[in-house]
A and B are shown apart, each in its own frame.
Chain A
Amino acid sequence: MSKFLKVTAATALSLCIAAPAYAEKLGLGRAALPEEIAAWDKDVSPNGEGLPEGSGDALVGEEVFAEKCASCHGDFAEGVDNWPKLAGGADTLADKDPLKTVGSYWPYLSTTWDYVNRSMPFGDAQTLTNDEVYAIVAYILYSNDLIEDDFVLSKETFLEVEMPNASGFILDDRLTSEAHFVGDACMSDCKDEVKITKHVVFKGDPNSPDDPVSESAGEAAQDAATAEDEAKAEDAPKAEEAAVVEAAALDAELVKAGEKVFKKCKACHQVGEGAKARTGPVLNGVVGAKLGHVENFKYSKTMLSMGEEGVVWNEANLAEFLKKPRSFVSKTKMSFAGLKKEDDIKAVTEYLKSFSE
């Protein structure tokens, strides 16, 4: 009955309408097993509660980072394209464009460990060993000059690391610091004159490459992108000059469209002059090649055996694969879900063909 009263208090107003009352337990659900809780309850608290056994240092971390993280976050945690920078930015928080990284902004080290452990690498989450996570976190700390290269990070040493911005946060104080927003509102003669102080930066469709404003608005794009929390656009959108080999048979428009689609692939694949293997193999010459054609790249067994059987990356096979990678090559390591639009598949294939000379 006491619980019922609590509900009435909380929802006094709506109770007369239809709020259900919870007096008794319903006996629904089943007991969670210890191994189930262990499998899902992995969060780590600021005091280190929840950290598992294991350890790692920056030297090992550098190798793991290069293999698993650098394709997006850069070899030195400096960030590639719009992907987050993890290092640098010290003392920039009061600047016009602060650079918020693990070193400059994150108040607790537990957050870094927890996030790397449960949510990274992007597209292959929850696959790192505890030692790898410790090593990656150590490398990120080292990149921020927060530890020496011989510091071994473990749950025992965890709280020794000082996070520079640990005291940089205050609790939400809007109700006091913004109390002046509560009150009477002016209805007439509120100001003498009204003048335009700022015009819009992107006049038309923000996605249109033809927008004359957007081409010269790099800085604004940068400001705007800071609003999105996943990444900071350091470079304005620019039409990268692709080293496209203009073969006569290629549809230039389609190649151009494909270059755009390829942005989705860039996190893992490089193509063109100087391309290097990342999470995925270099894609130069892929059209027409056998499956698994790049030597020394660690393909899935399925991919290699299909290649040995003579399966070739012709347009039909590429289309199948790009539509749903795992149904064409079961157990492929490529974690990409697939391209939904046929036009995108055609375009990206044309783009790849331009690197197949």
Chain B
Amino acid sequence: MTSRSQKDTPSRRAFLKGAAASVPVVAAASVAQAEGDPLITEVQDWARYTGEGVDEHPYGLPIKFESDVVRRNVEWLTADVISSINFTPIHALEGTITPQGCAFERHHSGAIELKKEDYRLMINGLVDQPLVFSYADLERFPRENHVYFCECAANSGMEWAGAQLNGAQYTHGMIHNMEYTGVSLRSLLEEAGLDAAGDLADKWVYVEGADASSNGRSIPMEKALDDVLVAFKANGEALRMEHGYPVRLVVPGWEGNMWIKWLRRIEVTSQAIESREETSKYTDTLADGTSRKWTWEMDAKSIITSPSPQVPVRHGKGPLVISGMAWSGRGAITRVDVSKDGGKSWETARLAKEGERMALTRFYLDTTWDGEEMFLQARAVDETGYVQPSKDALRDVRGENSVYHNNGIQTWWLKADGELENVEIS
């Protein structure tokens, strides 16, 4: 059955290789040519022989030509890949929805395999009746669908003291944006009954996962009853193992560490537990040595995804599409500005769609490149009127030791040769 494979003649293969090696094929195609383009004038293999049958890929992966669009980690960042992070290839993605297969992962004790049949979700603490739900039970609560971004609080954390890593994937890739299907945390809490909790204003829920790290976080009751989702599907299909299959918590707009994966327990408490992940980590140390805690919301932020260091400009002067994404943990993005001169002047970008609350917004600036260097920046504005600050403005308030919540404006230096570099500017 391998006879379906392409039957290149040696000469044609050599010719095609030559074509691929010569300067930009895409550019060549738009310029008037003395001879016809053989990709057009000659019958190509794919136009002659048949392709693969429908039984070839019961679950398809991207075509091999896109094999570089993958998550990447940085080896020396952590002690062990089991307790580490990788980055979404945001430089190569478009639109707003992140495919699950390349959405960043962060584990504290590795991604675990937990079957639906073995899944249990306990609600205990200050509730009328402590309950245990099976996966099938969860499917019987009314479902909701929402698109939300999930950003690790440490996204861009390497960049506090200066430009470190050369690529949007590495500087801003600890983020993904998916359409979740699940049930509201509120519905589960009300099923267990909250009369026992009394005044809900000062109550909390403590949520923890089933993996060996048992990552637990405290969430104020007000948020828990507002928009937190107990999700079991993302982008229409089951969650991936690395994102908490079969069930994860979705905490819209708040730092990713709170989105407990493999969610196994929800406890209503009268105080914050002050777990490791909300004291020793995910707290932000200021210049004077004091630290902010409970910094849950993700500030408004944006990033130009292309061009960027991993996506240089190869097409020469003329029309240039600047594409990027923006988001805010405090609501919808209302405007994004783009600067080509390092912030001297700004143009308002075009939003591909009206901003949605706590979800990624795609923006474009359709512009022209004259072949000169540019200092590209994007600046997000959200519905609260918050304007994404410069890195310096942020450091003026927070110093350089915060690690988390770096939402400063990123600068890409587009050089005359079309290459880009992560820089800081005056």
Interface residues of A (CB under 8 A from B): 3, 6-7, 10-11, 18-22, 25-26, 28-32, 36-37, 40-41, 43-47, 72, 81-84, 93-94, 96-98, 100, 102, 105-108, 110-111, 114-115, 118-119, 122-123, 125-126, 168-174, 177-178, 181-204, 206-207, 220-221, 223-231, 233, 236-237, 263-264, 267, 337
B299 at the interface (CB under 8 A from A): yes
Residues of B within 8 A of A84 (CB): 79
Contact (Cβ within 8 A) B265 A40: yes
Residues of B within 8 A of A21 (CB): 142
Minimum C-beta distance from B416 to chain A (A)? 14
Contact (Cβ within 8 A) B276 A119: yes
Contact of B164 among A37, A43, A44, A201 (CB under 8 A): A201
Minimum C-beta distance from B328 to chain A (A)? 12
Contact of B425 among A194, A220, A228 (CB under 8 A): A194
Contacts A226-B403, A337-B110; A22 near B274 (Cβ below 8 A):
no
Contact (Cβ within 8 A) B425 A197: yes
**Which of B127-135, B243-251, B313-321 lies at the interface?**
B127-135
Contacts A181-B387, A185-B387, A201-B164; A228 near B290 (Cβ below 8 A):
no
Contact (Cβ within 8 A) A185 B130: no
Apart from A11-B227, A197-B424: 13 A-B pairs, beta carbons within 8 A = A29-B191, A32-B122, A32-B132, A43-B206, A170-B293, A171-B293, A191-B342, A193-B426, A194-B341, A207-B75, A223-B162, A223-B164, A224-B164
Contact (Cβ within 8 A) A20 B142: yes
Contact (Cβ within 8 A) A199 B109: no
Contact (Cβ within 8 A) A37 B275: no
Contact (Cβ within 8 A) B162 A198: yes
Closest A residue by C-beta to B399: A94
Residues of A within 8 A of B292 (CB): 169-174
Contacts A32-B124, A125-B213; A46 near B271 (Cβ below 8 A):
yes
B105 at the interface (CB under 8 A from A): no
B346 at the interface (CB under 8 A from A): yes
Contact (Cβ within 8 A) A41 B137: no
Contact (Cβ within 8 A) B343 A187: no
Minimum C-beta distance from B154 to chain A (A)? 6
B197 at the interface (CB under 8 A from A): no
Contact of B191 among A25, A108, A125, A202 (CB under 8 A): A25
Number of chain B interface residues as a range = 35 or more
B13 at the interface (CB under 8 A from A): no
Contacts A30-B132, A227-B403, A230-B83; A20 near B282 (Cβ below 8 A):
no
Residues of B within 8 A of A22 (CB): 142, 184, 186-187, 190
CA A207 to CA B73, docked complex, whole Å: 8
Contact (Cβ within 8 A) A118 B214: yes
Contact (Cβ within 8 A) A107 B274: yes
Contact (Cβ within 8 A) B294 A172: yes
Contact (Cβ within 8 A) A29 B132: yes
CA A188 to CA B54, docked complex, whole Å: 56
Contact (Cβ within 8 A) B77 A233: yes
CA A31 to CA B191, docked complex, whole Å: 11
Contact of A231 among B79, B288, B387 (CB under 8 A): B79
CA A22 to CA B81, docked complex, whole Å: 43
Contacts A28-B191, A223-B161; A233 near B124 (Cβ below 8 A):
no
A-B contact count (CB 8 A): 321
Residues of B within 8 A of A29 (CB): 123, 131-134, 137, 191-192
CA A177 to CA B384, docked complex, whole Å: 16
Residues of A within 8 A of B130 (CB): 31-32, 37
Residues of A within 8 A of B271 (CB): 45-47
B46 at the interface (CB under 8 A from A): no
Contacts A31-B131, A197-B425, A228-B78; A182 near B276 (Cβ below 8 A):
no
B421 at the interface (CB under 8 A from A): yes
Residues of B within 8 A of A199 (CB): 163, 421, 423
- Mind listing 7 A-B residue pairs with CB under 8 Å? A28-B137, A32-B130, A123-B212, A187-B346, A194-B425, A207-B73, A221-B76
Contact (Cβ within 8 A) A43 B273: yes
Contact (Cβ within 8 A) A188 B346: yes
CA A320 to CA B79, docked complex, whole Å: 26
Minimum C-beta distance from B173 to chain A (A)? 12
Q: Which of B75-91 contact A (CB under 8 A)?
A: 75-85
CA A338 to CA B424, docked complex, whole Å: 42
Residues of B within 8 A of A44 (CB): 273
Residues of B within 8 A of A19 (CB): 144
CA A32 to CA B264, docked complex, whole Å: 13
CA A42 to CA B282, docked complex, whole Å: 22
Residues of A within 8 A of B291 (CB): 93, 105, 168-170
Minimum C-beta distance from A83 to chain B (A)? 5
Contact (Cβ within 8 A) A229 B423: no
Residues of A within 8 A of B294 (CB): 171-172
Residues of A within 8 A of B281 (CB): 229
Minimum C-beta distance from A333 to chain B (A)? 15
Contact of B276 among A111, A173, A193 (CB under 8 A): A111
B119 at the interface (CB under 8 A from A): no
B254-293 Cβ-contact flags toward A at 8 Å (1 or 0) = 0000000000110101010111100111110101111111
Contacts A96-B400, A122-B83, A196-B423; A181 near B389 (Cβ below 8 A):
yes
Point out which of A22, A43, A228 has the most chain B C-beta atoms below 10 A from its C-beta.
A228
Residues of A within 8 A of B213 (CB): 119, 125
Contact (Cβ within 8 A) A230 B108: yes
